[in-house]
Chains A and B, each alone.
Chain A
């Protein structure tokens, strides 16, 4: 902190200042961490509390420890099949969204595209449109064309609604690649697809991983599309099933809490595995603006 050229007195004063002022920030940090973690910790505690103990005293934290609520939620909410339904549609939707975004972002950033600005504006418009505002025609069109109640249909709709954000993000990343790299590959006789797969994609691979990971998380959580486009009860996703567990069947709160944790657990796992990409990607997004 204190450089060699700094007078000693200043360095000492600075050090003292730093030490004195660290008490306040530390307190604030602790308060923030507690405020953020307390609700989470409470819900986890509720989820592992025996139901009888919870019913007797919902406000307490005692009463022992059980994993039975997770089994009950899994059984009562039919979460096993529901998880499968999610797996039929979300991974495909995330891959499709990432794929179209990886191609389109490169096209807009590095290739000649007729009406480029207009088409790019078109894609950016899609980012800003809130899904609820078009949910009614999506539902009706889906009934007409046949993508309602169809897992692949939902994946394709998700690719459209989430690919636009990925396109814009990757467009910024491809833009950063030096043109000379691509031009010299041209001169060596490489064709466009070869350049895309052998040069461009490897160079922005971490950003593509970011888009993929965020797409899984966002599409997994998107209850509105899952609720509206998979309305048949035998096709419900895990998010929809778990919300029904809390709503219409009014299971005991510990069981509901356990169910919600089960529905969110895969996301926490994905986050743990890809957190480097997710947070790095967010920096890039914020600082590019």
Chain B
């Protein structure tokens, strides 16, 4: 590399983009420069090659493989036997799988809570003198591994657990329920648990963005007699919209398609399949029962579910951009 000066004559900085990338209008004239550029391209490739190779081997190949496997029957012995659409047809008529789909649809509504609650708290506490302390306290539980969170809530929401005791003490005994063993109610418990586990991160995101709002805006609105709700709707909401979208996207790819560790810690999918989600079903069918073909078909449905969510998200963004 010491001969670099010779084969790569220094170019005026103004004509060179980021580290040697040619800008338009500066053609590569000499043979020497062209080979230098090939060398640069090779160096760039070397920097990204390990990551790209890992992604190819452990994400893209498995993705192709899971689609192939979904059209086969295979339990690990011998070779996968092609069965066409049989796995998908089976899923279509399998009532437990329908329960799982409904569960995922219901849990999706949790997104509203997971986004709105931290947004509201961030806007409410942001002017307080000890806001930073509150945020630090609230952030701490988000470090806990999801299955530990699941265990925490399986203790909290047990039949004679502290939540029911508190409710009875408050004279709200009629509200006390078997939060973890009643169909549908168990989904509410999951939504609440994830809200607890992700709350602190959300507050952190929104608070970071709130700093960008000049306090004179808020003061002016207050002097004009704006109520809190008006300030939230007309100032905080539009300013925080990009962060809201970002947080929404993070939750979509990290939670809505990956409930596994939370459910594993809380209910293991029970009672029956009442708290089983698509990703948990992949585990139960594909790994626990070793039905790789059927499990792969569920994986493909999970991927389609994610794709639909991302398309709705992107579509919503385009529509909003087009109309306002």
A interface with B by C-beta (< 8 Å): 1, 10, 13-14, 17-18, 21-22, 24-26, 28-29, 32-33, 35-40, 42-43, 46, 58-59, 100-101, 103-104, 106-114, 116, 119, 122-123, 125-141, 156-157, 159-161, 163-164, 167, 179-180, 182-184, 186-187, 189, 191-192, 195-196, 217, 220-224, 227-228, 239, 243, 246-247, 253, 256-257, 260-261, 263-264, 267-268, 271, 275, 279, 282-283, 285-287, 289
Give 20 new A-B contacts, CB below 8 A, not counting A137-B69, A179-B17, A257-B151: A22-B128, A28-B124, A29-B124, A32-B199, A100-B51, A103-B47, A103-B48, A108-B48, A111-B44, A112-B19, A113-B47, A133-B257, A135-B287, A136-B287, A179-B18, A223-B264, A264-B148, A268-B140, A285-B246, A286-B209
> In the complex, are the beta carbons of A160 and B55 less than 8 A apart?
yes
A138 to chain B: closest CB distance in Å? 5
> In the complex, are the beta carbons of A246 and B151 less than 8 A apart?
yes
Cβ-closest chain B residue relative to A143 = B76
Given A103-B48, A136-B282, A243-B265, residue A43 in contact with residue B155 (CB < 8 A): yes
A198 to chain B: closest CB distance in Å? 14
Which one of B45, B59, B296 contacts A129 once the chains associate, using CB atoms below 8 Å?
B59
B65 within 8 Å of A by Cβ? yes
Interface with A: B91-99, B106-114, B170-178, B215-223, which one? B215-223
Q: Which residues of A contact B236 (CB under 8 A)?
A: none
Question: How would you classify the secondary structure of chain A's contact residues: helix, strand, loop or mixed?
Answer: helix
Cβ-closest chain A residue relative to B4 = A189
Which one of B19, B47, B147, B160 contacts A183 once the chains associate, using CB atoms below 8 Å?
B19
Q: What are some 29 contacts across the A-B interface (CB < 8 A)?
A: A1-B215, A18-B127, A22-B128, A29-B125, A29-B128, A40-B152, A59-B160, A107-B46, A113-B47, A114-B41, A114-B45, A119-B48, A125-B59, A128-B253, A132-B258, A132-B260, A132-B299, A136-B69, A137-B62, A137-B65, A164-B55, A186-B19, A186-B20, A192-B19, A221-B146, A221-B261, A243-B265, A264-B148, A283-B205
Cβ-closest chain B residue relative to A128 = B253
Q: Which residues of A contact B50 (CB under 8 A)?
A: 100, 103-104
Q: Which residues of A contact B286 (CB under 8 A)?
A: 135-136, 139
Interface size class for chain B? 35 or more
B204 within 8 Å of A by Cβ? yes
> In the complex, are the beta carbons of A267 and B143 less than 8 A apart?
yes
> In the complex, are the beta carbons of A260 and B48 less than 8 A apart?
no
Given A36-B196, A39-B152, A286-B209, residue A159 in contact with residue B134 (CB < 8 A): no
Provide the B53-78 mask, 1 if CB < 8 A to any CB of A, else 0.
01111111111011001000000100
